[in-house]
Amino acid sequence: MEILLLGTGSADGWPNPFCRCASCRSATEVRGQTAALVDDVLLLDCGPEAPRAAARFGRSLASVRHILFTHGHWDHVGPAALLMRHWTGAGERLDVVGPASALDQCRHWVGPDDPVRFVEVGPGDDVRLGDYRVRVLAAAHGADLGADAVLYDLETVGGRIFWATDTGPLPEQTHAAVAGAAFDAVFLEETFGMHTGHGTEHHDLPAFAATVSALRSSGAAVATTDVIAVHLSHHNPAEAELVAVLADSGARPGSDGEIVGAAPTRVLVLGGARSGKSAHAEALLAGQAAVTYLATGGVREGDPEWAERVRLHRSRRPASWRTVETSDAADMLRAAETPLLLDCLGTWLTARMDLHGVWDGGALDGVHTDIDELVAAWRACPVRAVAVSNEVGSGVVPATGSGRLFRDLLGVLNARIAAASDEVVLMVAGRPLRLPAQ
| DSSP-derived secondary structure for 302-338 | T-HHHHHHHHHHHHHS-TT-EEEE-S-HHHHHHH--S
Secondary structure (3-state) at 190: coil
DSSP 403: H
Rounded to whole angstroms, the Cα distance separating 220 from 74 reads: 30
Sheet holding 385-390, edge to edge: 322-325, 292-295, 340-343, 385-390, 266-271, 423-428, 431-435
pLDDT reading at 85 higher than 60: yes
pLDDT band per the 50, 70, 90 thresholds, residue 367: very high
Rounded to whole angstroms, the Cα distance separating 101 from 47 reads: 14
- 244 neighbors 141 (Cβ within 8 angstroms): no
Rounded to whole angstroms, the Cα distance separating 135 from 127 reads: 6
pLDDT band per the 50, 70, 90 thresholds, residue 289: confident
Cα→Cα distances 243→187, 228, 246, 254, 343, Å: 15, 11, 5, 10, 19
Q: Give the mean pLDDT of 122-146.
A: 91
Per-residue pLDDT tens digits for 370-429: 999 999 999 999 888 999 999 987 777 787 888 899 999 999 999 999 999 988 999 998
Helix/strand/coil percentages in the chain, nearest 5 = 30, 25, 45
302: which residues sit within 8 A by CB, 6+ positions away? none
Q: Which pLDDT belongs to residue 394?
A: 77
Q: Give the mean pLDDT of 75-98.
A: 96
Q: Which pLDDT belongs to residue 360?
A: 84
Q: Which pLDDT belongs to residue 313?
A: 58
pLDDT band per the 50, 70, 90 thresholds, residue 191: very high
Q: Give the mean pLDDT of 78-102.
A: 96
Q: Which pLDDT belongs to residue 433?
A: 86
Rounded to whole angstroms, the Cα distance separating 140 from 125 reads: 17
Q: Residue 14 forms beta bridges with which residues?
A: 31
- What positions carry a catalytic annotation? 313
Largest CA distance in the chain: 77
Q: Which pLDDT belongs to residue 158?
A: 74
Query: Looking at the whole model, is its pTM more than 0.75?
Result: no
DSSP codes, 231-251: SB-TTS--HHHHHHHHHTTTE
Give the burial class of 302: count Cβ atoms within 10 A of its Cβ; 0-12 exposed, 13-18 middle, 19 or more buried: exposed
Secondary structure (3-state) at 122: coil
Query: By percentage, how much of the chain surpasses pLDDT 90?
Result: 71
Look at 139 and 322; give whichever has higher pLDDT.
139
Rounded to whole angstroms, the Cα distance separating 290 from 293 reads: 10
What's the CA dihedral at 47, 280, 214, 181 to 10 degrees?
70
pLDDT band per the 50, 70, 90 thresholds, residue 135: very high
E strands along 114-165, which residues?
A: 116-120, 126-129, 132-138, 150-156, 159-164
User: Residue-wise over 117-148: b if at least 16 C-beta within 10 A, else e?
Assistant: ebeebebeeebebeebebbbbbbbbbeeebeb
Look at 78 and 396; give whichever has higher pLDDT.
78
Rounded to whole angstroms, the Cα distance separating 255 from 77 reads: 20
17: which residues sit within 8 A by CB, 6+ positions away? none
β-pair type (185-189, 159-164): parallel
pLDDT band per the 50, 70, 90 thresholds, residue 29: confident
The helix or strand, by DSSP H or E, that contains position 433, with its residue range, turns out to be strand 431-435
Q: Which pLDDT belongs to residue 422?
A: 85
Number of H helices, E strands in the chain: 13, 21
- 38 neighbors 3 (Cβ within 8 angstroms): yes
Query: By percentage, how much of the chain surpasses pLDDT 70?
Result: 93
Rounded to whole angstroms, the Cα distance separating 281 from 336 reads: 17
Least confident of 12-21, 202-211, 258-267: 258-267
Per-residue pLDDT tens digits for 293-318: 998 865 555 666 655 665 565 666 67
β-pair type (150-156, 159-164): antiparallel
Rounded to whole angstroms, the Cα distance separating 208 from 198 reads: 14
Q: Which pLDDT belongs to residue 306?
A: 53
Average pLDDT, the chain: 91
